[in-house]
């Protein structure tokens, strides 16, 4: 269950509680409605129970695998020149792993850095 859906449930729950509170106020303080105060009280209680039900049971999170939140970059450099290349991390990469001859010069290229860039906060 997404966080947006959870917060939607919370808003519905608060709205129902406010509705129940309004009915209680009407039933108690508005004279023309005094004849219906019992019905209003029962309706208010029903709203309150619905609100609690949504608050307690609606907010349960379903457990599902998390999506990846980072982009891992492998930076390739060369000991003999200023060659620099960035690519996505692949299994087996590690910092200072030698990768053979450089694309630009006869020097040896190697993995200069690996780092993560968060995709979302």
Partner 1 sequence: MPSIVVNIIWMVAFFAIIILFNQRMQIWSYQRNVEKATARLQFLADKSREDALNSIKQFAQENVDIRSQVTGFLDFFLIEPVDRDPFGVLGRLEHILDNRRDRFKAFVSQIAPKAGKTDAANTEDILEAAMALNLIFKVVRHYLLLGKKTKSLMIFVQLDMQLPMIMKMAEAYFSAQKTFSAGKPIGDGLGALVASKLMLGQPKKQIAEEVVYAELDLSNRKVVVLKAEGPGGVVGKPGEAVKQLVENLGGKVARIFMIDAAAKLEGEKTGEVVEGIGAAIGDPGPEKFKIEDVATKYKIPVDAIICKMDLEEALTTIRKEVVEASDVIVERIKKAILERTKEGDVVIVAGIGNTIGVGQ
Tell which one of 10, 41, 43, 81 touches partner 1 (CB under 8 A): 41
Residue of 3, 4, 32, 65 interacting with partner 1 (CB under 8 A): 65
113 is an interface residue for partner 1 by CB under 8 A = yes
| Contact (Cβ atoms closer than 8 angstroms) between residue 117 and residue 75 | no
For 37, the token pair is: 């105060």
Provide the minimum distance between the beta carbon of 68 and partner 1 in the complex, in angstroms, as a whole number: 9
**DSSP codes, 2-36:** -HHHHHHHHHHHHHHHHHHHHHHHHHHH-GGGGGG
Q: Out of 43, 81, 99, 114, which residue is the one contacting partner 1 (CB under 8 A)? A: 114
Nearest-angstrom CA–CA distance, 12 and 4: 12
Q: How far apart are CA 25 and CA 43, in angstroms?
A: 12
Binding status of residue 96 toward partner 1 by CB under 8 A? yes
Interface residue list for partner 1 (CB under 8 A): 27-28, 34-35, 37-38, 41, 56, 59-61, 63, 65, 70, 72-73, 79, 89, 91-97, 113-118
């Amino acid at each position: 269950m997404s966080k947006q859906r959870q917060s939607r449930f919370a808003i519905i729950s608060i709205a129902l509680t406010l509705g129940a509170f309004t009915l209680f106020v009407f039933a108690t303080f508005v004279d023309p409605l005094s004849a219906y105060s019992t019905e209003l009280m029962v309706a208010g209680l029903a709203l309150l129970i619905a609100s609690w039900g949504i608050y307690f049971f609606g907010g349960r999170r379903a457990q599902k695998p998390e999506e990846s939140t980072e982009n891992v970059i492998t930076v390739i450099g060369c000991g003999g020149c200023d060659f620099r290349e960035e690519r996505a991390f692949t299994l087996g990469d590690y910092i200072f792993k030698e990768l053979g001859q450089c694309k630009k010069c006869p020097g040896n290229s190697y993995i200069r850095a690996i780092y993560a860039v968060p995709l979302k906060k």
